[in-house]
Amino acid sequence: MIRIKNNSFYIMCEISLFFLLVNLLLAYSNNIGILVIGIFSLYMLSFLFIFSLEEILQEKDIGILYILGIVFPYYFQKHEYVFGELMKKNSMIFNLNLIYMLLFFLIAIFYVWKQHRDSWISYLSLERIRNYSLYLVIFYLFRGKSIEIRDFFIGVAILTFFYKKEWKKNFITKEKRNIFFLIVFFLFCCLLSNSLTTDIPFQRDLLRDFTRSYFLFIILCLIPISKQMLNKIELTIGISSLFPILLILLEWKAKHYTLLKAMGSEEYTSIWAVRAVLISLILIFLFFKRKKFIFFIMAVLSVLTMLLGQGRGPLLSFLVCFLLLLFYFSIHYNKIKYFLFGVILSWILFFSLFFTNNYIMTKFRYAVEGKDFSTNIRFIIYKDAIKQWQLKKIYGHGLGSYYNVAGNLNQKEVYKPFIPHAHNNLLELLRSIGVLGLISYIMLNIYIFISLWKKYRDEKEFFPILAMILMISLELSGLTDYSLMMTKSHLTVLMFVAFSLSCVKKENSAPLFL
């Protein structure tokens, strides 16, 4: 097997070729010969990219190579920017993908049989199935489209961890029991508020999303995450983060600057910007942890996609959390120059935006001058949210009821279809689930934060720091928007919190087999 040197130049070439090949296929989508060769080349480039990243991170895994190598180009082609509509009308493209997926699947089986003839059955262990299901959840969170029910319940396959021996004794700690109780208490407050108010679809949707997110979080908290699994999780993050970046590059090339189509029909620019901040912080964290230049390149691309999101709140959230990350690593490595470099870089970014005629700085300037509509309307929304809460202080008006209550109270300034919430996490929770629900949410997050700090203090692991930074970022974005409504962003934060709390030095039982 050819060994690729630890040089990020190869990966950048592969990413560029992948992007150019997609554009070529879009230009010649009616040419059968080009489609046959081009789609095959997409799969080969996908495998090559993953193999190169595995070489750089020195974390080889044949399962990740073939599973994500097949899944990545298939889902990319299904996107509306590529062959989304064409795959529905033209069965040939869909059939070509099925043929190639089957071909590479058979090659994977043959490779495993040839290289691991005596231990091939280990690839059918419940532990491996659980782990690869976990890696797929990461991929579905990072990819641009919405998480459908069928995608979410891929995470249910992680329930196979119940077959591990002595998991109760080793992994149900006091902290996790307390977190479970606080989650149940918070969801009970949400259910109570909804049951005592008028039933509306948006109300049910929010409660369903909260329940799903925390359900998956509880499952992840019970899975022992070994050091080897953490390394594979980092590898999966590197692979998965490329998916939205490529889509945004296609959006930028099309000069739409809306991201509406690139990130899914339910996504708006501010919603993507919040998630792009999280992905950027994760990649920056991995760059400082792994010291691999490829993570720096991907972090830069992710930051650029965040700026396309045109959100002022997410931008400020990123700058604050970016400096917090740099401050931590400057202390950890005993090199204050990291932090000083970050401060200089942040000021360069800020002034480069300030002295250019762009949307974000125009909005900042209008806000200072009192001319920005979105800023002015937010102050009205905040005041009216407090007025709504004063009518039902204990249990609130129910999740997602802002628009309906504003109409009933004749709050004409905010009685608009595009304002379904109070644009602030704390105010929205206060008016929707009351004082009791808000207290339960604050208690839950404070306890999780304290648990992460204790985990870091006792084991000196990196991941709890990242989880705390992501929690801060989500709440900072929630000062000017309802970031808890952004399911993928919320679930991403919960996922990294679970990884941090569940990290163990050694797993205590052998895998079971089907």
- pLDDT of res. 2: 41
Query: Beta partners for 225?
Result: 503
- pLDDT of res. 446: 96
**pLDDT band with cut points at 50, 70 and 90 for residue 417:** very low
Query: Beta partners for 513?
Result: 125
Residues 289-299 have pLDDT tens digits of 888 888 888 88
What would the mean pLDDT of 134-147 be, rounded to a whole number? Answer: 77
Residues 62-92 have pLDDT tens digits of 888 888 889 888 888 887 777 777 777 767 8
- pLDDT of res. 259: 45
Euclidean distance between CA atoms 426 and 490, whole angstroms: 15
DSSP string, 421-471: S-SSHHHHHHHHHHHHHHHHHHHHHHHHHHHHHHHHHHH--SHHHHHHHHH
pLDDT of 343 higher than 80: no
What would the mean pLDDT of 364-378 be, rounded to a whole number? Answer: 66
Give the contacts of 121 (CB within 8 A, at least 6 positions apart). Answer: 513
Q: How far is CA 250 from each of CA 15, 150, 418, rounded to the nearest angstrom?
A: 13, 27, 27
The token duo for 294 is 């490829």
Q: Across the chain, which distance is largest between two alpha carbons, in Å?
A: 73
Euclidean distance between CA atoms 83 and 77, whole angstroms: 5
pLDDT of 175 higher than 80: yes
Which of 100-109, 300-309, 444-453 bottoms out in mean pLDDT, i.e. has the lowest? 300-309
Burial of 284 (0-12, 13-18, 19+ CB in 10 A): buried
Euclidean distance between CA atoms 138 and 239, whole angstroms: 10
pLDDT of 267 higher than 60: no
**pLDDT band with cut points at 50, 70 and 90 for residue 508:** very low
Give the contacts of 100 (CB within 8 A, at least 6 positions apart). Answer: 39, 40, 43
pLDDT of 469 higher than 90: yes
The token duo for 457 is 């203090």
- pLDDT of res. 360: 61
Within 13 Å of residue 41, how many CA atoms lie on the same side as its CB?
A: 16
**What percent of the chain has a predicted confidence (pLDDT) above 70?**
75
The token duo for 146 is 């919405």
- pLDDT of res. 370: 60
**What average pLDDT does the structure give for the chain?**
78
SS (H, E, C) 210-263: HHHHHHHHHHHHCCCECHHHHHHHHHHHHHHHHHHHHHHHHHHHHCCCCCCCCC
Residue 503 DSSP code? B
Q: How far is CA 475 from each of CA 127, 455, 488, rounded to the nearest angstrom?
A: 34, 21, 14
- pLDDT of res. 264: 42
pLDDT of 514 higher than 50: no
Q: How far is CA 298 from each of CA 12, 70, 294, 348, rounded to the nearest angstrom?
A: 10, 21, 6, 19
Q: Which of 414, 410, 476 is nearest to 445 (CA)?
A: 476
**pLDDT higher at 12 or 507:** 12
Residues 4-24 have pLDDT tens digits of 455 677 788 888 888 888 888
The token duo for 99 is 């043929």
**What percent of the chain has a predicted confidence (pLDDT) above 90?**
14
Euclidean distance between CA atoms 127 and 271, whole angstroms: 35
pLDDT of 257 higher than 50: no
Q: What is the pTM of this model?
A: 0.86
- pLDDT of res. 164: 60
Euclidean distance between CA atoms 336 and 338, whole angstroms: 5
What would the mean pLDDT of 312-321 be, rounded to a whole number? Answer: 84
**pLDDT band with cut points at 50, 70 and 90 for residue 472:** very high
> How much is the CA Rg of the chain, to the nearest whole Å?
24
**pLDDT higher at 510 or 160:** 160
**pLDDT higher at 320 or 371:** 320
- pLDDT of res. 31: 83
What would the mean pLDDT of 436-452 be, rounded to a whole number? Answer: 94
Residues 41-53 have pLDDT tens digits of 999 999 998 888 8
What would the mean pLDDT of 133-150 be, rounded to a whole number? Answer: 74
Are 478 and 441 a contacting pair, CB within 8 Å?
no
- pLDDT of res. 445: 95
Phi, psi (degrees; rounded to nearest 5) at 18: -60, -45
- pLDDT of res. 350: 64
pLDDT of 185 higher than 80: yes
Residues 391-407 have pLDDT tens digits of 888 888 888 787 777 77
Q: Which of 188, 172, 141, 173 is nearest to 441 (CA)?
A: 188
**pLDDT band with cut points at 50, 70 and 90 for residue 187:** very high
- pLDDT of res. 188: 93
Which of 41-50, 247-256, 320-329, 419-428 bottoms out in mean pLDDT, i.e. has the lowest? 247-256
What would the mean pLDDT of 383-395 be, rounded to a whole number? Answer: 85
